Structure 1
Amino acid sequence: MLEPTPLSGVQIITPRVFSDNRGSFCETYNQDTLASFGIDTAFVQDNQSWSRDAGTIRGLHFQAPPAAQAKLVRVLVGEIWDVAVDIRAGSPTYGQWTGVTLSAANSRQLLIPAGFLHGFVTRVPDCLVAYKCSNVYAPGCEGAVRFDDPDLAIDWGIPAAGAVLSDKDAAAGSFAELQTPFTYEASA
């Protein structure tokens, strides 16, 4: 099932889950199924992160062209609040964010196209998150914005002072300083 969000291109994908007395099964990725929804993103890299503590924030990150990345995010263990922020210059939703709960229990996934910041907060300890990327990691193309930027006013569901951050995320710049490398292209 495909569910749109308020941000054009950001989609919630909920696969069909088959359950019986043994447990459950679902396809977490099927190129043909996504193509039937009009999603033709080719994924070339799989990433996985483990976060020990609840309240761990990873983000807000992006990768600039020529190594821009779309991501397909899902949770293997635990629960997160997953956030995308539109940073496409000229977009009617520039600077707006959307969030969705992803968990091992609900099997939901979030598709985040290139042109968006991405980040998440863990809601429980020991979260294992997996995501597909449409381009390989390119350190020279990475960028970040502070998770608690007042211009974005993202509701992470935790006090900012209690967030567990990497040194790199703690040093991220402000949204106002962002020189976005992305331009909005209206659909025909």
Structure 2
Amino acid sequence: MNIVRTPIADLLVLEPRVFGDERGFFVESYNERRFQEAIGAPEAVRFVQDNHSRSSRNVLRGLHYQVRQPQGKLVRVVAGEVFDVAVDLRRSSPTFGKWFGTILSAENKRQMWVPAGFAHGFVVTGESADFLYKTTDYWAPEYERSIAWNDPAIGIEWPLSGAPVLSEKDRKGTLLADAEVYE
């Protein structure tokens, strides 16, 4: 597995080894030992929930996080392509409010490790995408928050081809200046 460090501490892109031939391919999508080594965790990160979403072109989901029961997420795409984004919400971090984005696709098989303390979102850049992610804590809707996807203070450069398709919750996202964040 190749580990790509991003400009934001603790946020990583993981590039698994792909073994392919005329029959197809094999990829180890998760190996606990290698993952723990990659993220440099002093204690094991424990995943408790797997999620799978399917979305069509220009669906933008996010920027989501939980103020209690914060979730670390290991995210990947198994069909289609998305532009995946994480925003640092750790007030004590030198990169507080900064974002990083990358293309995740079925073709490149890349994954992103989004630790607790970040907001996360993505936009579908192809016809559709199947998005899978493991979480380190359970979904708790009462603690879920949404940062405005288009907050000018963050300035994410979403690769949109037209207006984004948003949920009601995401249409009402909070500006970072007014959001509950982590210390």
TM class by smaller structure: over 0.9
Task: Tell whether the 8 Å contact from 2:67 to 2:180 is kept in structure 1 after alignment.
Answer: no
The structural deviation recorded for 1:35 is 2.1
AA in 2 matched with 1:82:
D
In 1, the alpha carbon distance for the partners of 2:67 and 2:52 equals: 21
Partner amino acid for 1:58?
R
Identity %, equivalent residues: 42
TM-score (norm 1): 0.92
Structure 2's unaligned 5+ residue stretches are none
* Alpha-carbon distance, 1:97 to partner: 0.3
Residue 120 of structure 1 aligns to a residue in which SS? Answer: strand
- Counterpart among 70, 81, 91 of residue 83 in structure 2: 81
Query: Given residue 119 of structure 2, which amino acid in structure 1 is its aligned partner?
Result: L
Residues 140-165 of structure 1: CA deviation (Å, up to 9, x unaligned): 11111110011111000126x60110
Q: Does 1:51 align with 2:51?
A: no
Question: Where in structure 2 are the equivalents of 1:29-178 lying within 5 Å?
Answer: 29-37=30-38, 38-39=40-41, 40-52=44-56, 54-65=57-68, 67-158=69-160, 162-178=163-179
Shift of 1:21: 1.2
Match of 1:7 in 2: 8
User: Alpha-carbon deviation of 1:93?
Assistant: 0.3
Q: Give 1:134's aligned amino acid.
A: T
Shift in Å, 1:179: 2.3
Is 1:17 equivalent to 2:18 in the alignment?
yes
Name the CA distance, whole Å, in 1 between partners of 2:157 and 2:180. 24
Find the residue that maps to 2:29 and give its secondary structure.
Answer: coil
Q: Secondary structure at the match of 2:65?
A: strand
Q: State how far apart, in whole Å, the 2-side matches of 1:84 and 1:125 are.
A: 22
Shift of 1:171: 1.1
3-state SS of paired residue (1:33): helix
Structure 1 runs of 4+ off > 4 angstroms? none
Structure 2 partner of 1:186: none
* Alignment RMSD: 1.1
Return the letter of the residue paired with 1:57.
L
Shift of 1:55: 1.1
Deviation readout 1:20-69 (Å, 9 max, x if unpaired) = 111001010110111232243211100011002x111000000122x110
